[in-house]
A and B are shown apart, each in its own frame.
Chain A
Amino acid sequence: MNESLTTKEAIYRRKFDRRQGLASLSPEEKVKMLIKLQHLASQIALEVGRPCQSPWLPLKGEETAR
């Protein structure tokens, strides 16, 4: 029981630390991450046939391919 609680706590702690780490990044770094999230979201939307807005920047290589 105690062991399982410790595992839970450890997982929570790890998640918490990861989120704190993300929150402490600079806004510039976060915008880079946001653009990656936008690409991921638009790719998923495309695959399930849902409309989605365009990411702010093209993917690497996409710009020259256009």
Chain B
Amino acid sequence: MPESCESSDSNDFVLDKALRVINELEQGGIIGRYAIGGAVALLFYTEPTLTFDLDIFCHLPSQGLLINLQPLFEWTSARGYKAESEHIKIEGVPVQFLPSTGSLVDEALDGAVERTFAGVPTRVFQYEHLLAIMAETGRPKDRARLQVSLDSKPADESKLTEILKRHCLEDKWRKMTT
């Protein structure tokens, strides 16, 4: 890797600053319980894969069937964090706040594990939930990422099988992994 690709400060992980802000959002009740999902969550388990987004799965306040994002946008914009398409850019990191899309994500959110990143406490989806979500989502990039992940770190087979069974994802899993 050329020297010019070094980041500006070797002690600056950038993600820790974004996570501090997200913790404030949770502590202030702007968002409910959150956990990191997607490719950034995979960083806690496997080799790094390219991503530009930080996916934050969380419970968001709702009125009836509609999710109310207004408090989130008001809080972040008051602190100078701008919304850019589907993201809010927090400390240089494009963060996507994703409400639960179903029982699998609900379970992943409930079962997320406590971790720290550069001293900042956070929560991360368990590896087997991340794999199951990739199978459920089923985009070409999920298939590619799933393969890279499994090559990098094998799953806990019994835990994964239980999750796939519970959410009727066994067929999808077979299609994604063969």
Q: Which residues of A contact B (CB under 8 A)?
A: 19-20, 22-23, 27-28, 30-41, 52-63
Contacts and interface: CB of A to CB of B under 8 A. Distances in A.
A59 B92 contact: no
B12 A57 contact: yes
Interface of B is mostly: loop
Given A19-B152, A58-B8, A27 B117 contact: yes
Nearest to B122: A27
Interface residues of B, number: 32
Contacts of B83: none
A58 B12 CA distance: 11
Contacts of B3: 60
Given A27-B117, A38-B50, A53-B52, A32 B10 contact: yes
A49 B92 CA distance: 23
Contacts of B51: 34
B44 interface: yes
Given A36-B6, A63-B8, 6 more contacts: A19-B47, A28-B118, A34-B43, A36-B1, A59-B5, A62-B8
Contacts of B14: 31, 35, 56-57
B6 A22 contact: no
B7 A32 contact: yes
Contacts of B7: 32, 35-36, 57, 59-60
